Amino acid sequence: MTAPHKKSKMTAALLAWFLGIFGAHRFYLNQNSMGVGYILGSITFIGIFVTGIISFVDFIGFLVMSEEDFDRRYNPHLVAYQGRPQVNGIQNTVYVADEIKKLDQLFQDGVITFEEFERRKQMIMNQ
């Protein structure tokens, strides 16, 4: 299994600008259902106008969004937090997606409650 590639904020912004009415930026960001919505919305003249406005708002949003926020939203597999103590002077890097996956497995196995799952998930996401 290969690791997903890092999505580029500038690529997403350019796709929103040039091909936004067709949802190309949403397909690029692996939001395929939203991309299909853009395509279906652009079938009519009014739909092209509406998807054009929405994609312009997306374009501006990508430009003003910080790299950190973009990565947190669209590259969660790359966002790391320093949630574990140092071992022998080496800081462990823990990936958010991996930790949430472990938490979900604990919840599915009945080891922790839903409330505990949500509490721990928030702790991971906020670090």
pLDDT, tens digit, for every residue of 103-127? 888 888 888 888 888 888 888 777 6
Q: Residue 125: which H helix or E strand, with range? A: helix 114-126
Question: In whole angstroms, what is the distance from residue 95 CA to residue 92 CA?
Answer: 10
* Total number of domains constituting the chain: 2
> Are 20 and 55 in a shared domain?
yes
Please name the residue ranges forming H helices in the chain: 9-19, 24-28, 32-41, 45-64, 67-74, 96-108, 114-126
Inside any domain, residue 122: yes
- The reply to whether the predicted model has a pTM over 0.75 is no
> Are 59 and 82 in a shared domain?
no
Helix orientation angle between 45-64 and 32-41, rounded to the nearest 10 degrees: 140
Q: What is the pLDDT of residue 54?
A: 96
Give the residue numbers spanning the domain of 18: 9-74
Inside any domain, residue 101: yes
> Are 38 and 55 in a shared domain?
yes
Inside any domain, residue 4: no
> Are 61 and 100 in a shared domain?
no
Q: What is the pLDDT of residue 91?
A: 47
pLDDT, tens digit, for every residue of 43-59? 999 999 999 999 999 99
Q: What is the pLDDT of residue 106?
A: 87
Inside any domain, residue 3: no
pLDDT, tens digit, for every residue of 56-97? 999 999 999 999 889 888 987 776 654 554 444 444 556 777
> Are 15 and 51 in a shared domain?
yes
Per-residue pLDDT at 25 exceeds 80: yes
Inside any domain, residue 32: yes
- Please identify which residue in the block is written with the tokens 């002077």: 89
